[in-house]
Amino acid sequence: MRSGKLHMCGRYSLIGTDDLGARFRITDPSIGFRSRFNIAPGRMVPVIIRRERTEAVMMAWGLVPRWTKDRDGAHPIINARAETISQRPSFRHLLKSNRCLVPATGFFEWKKDQKRKTPFYIRMQDRGLFAFAGLYDIWHDPAGNNGATCTIITTGPNELVAPIHNRMPVILDRNDETRWLSDESLTPADLAQFLVPFPAAVMEAYPVLPMVNNQKIDDERLIRPLAGL
């Protein structure tokens, strides 16, 4: 899935960034990221990785594989399909050592009804932080410059999302986050356990104003329930 298109997952929010350190057990969470209500592809976002320790690193949303020769002409990959992730060359090697968590507090999906698309905001009922399963890579150019980029893994929808869209991001169970971040090799059975729809019973979804389509608008109006619905 390419950046710039309102496909799944094409927008998400991250509110309450002061809580990142405690929620994800980060030693130094001071990465200067404010709350964002309308994160679009191409933006720099905080991503949780595990090297010598668990840390938050700013990355561009939209994976650019390390072998890309010209980043300016690249087509960043914002989503990776769970069903084919172990076969795609862009992702296969990343599954071994470049797994990451992408913190979020909600995401947007567009429900197509005849000729109209209505945006919906989807979040946890407790409105808390959660983590998308992601992959990242480091791109290097001949001049020695480099850049970290990431992609969000998607799967089929749960019962809440299904009436809205046929895909949703993989949201990891909190108990699985540490293992996803580890350098442990994951078998096909492990991936089948991780990369599944999150339980609908603890989530909620409601229509919101179409102004979310405008990447320049980024405030709390975007996540308010649409009046009269």
The catalytically annotated residue of 9, 100, 150, 177 is 9
Quick check: is 9 catalytic?
Answer: yes
Pull the structure tokens for residue 38: 């309308």
Rounded distance, CA 106 to CA 37, Å? 9
> Which of these, 7, 149, 19, 157, lies nearest to 91 by C-alpha position?
149
Give the 3-state secondary structure percentages of the chain, helix then strand then coil, rounded to 5: 20, 35, 45
Q: Which residues share a beta bridge with 101? A: 48, 133
For 136-155, letters b (16+ CB in 10 Å) and e give bbebeeeeeeeebbbbbbbb
**221-225 LR contacts (CB < 8 Å, sep 24+):** 222/13, 222/37, 222/38, 222/121, 223/13, 223/15, 223/37, 223/106, 223/121, 223/123
Would you tell me how many other CB atoms lie within 10 Å of the CB of residue 20?
20
The catalytic position among 52, 55, 109, 159 is 109
Active site residue 150: no
Please tell me the distance from the alpha carbon of residue 229 to that of residue 226, in angstroms, as a whole number. Answer: 6
Q: Looking at this protein, which amino acid is placed at residue 45? A: V
Q: Which positions are catalytic?
A: 9, 109
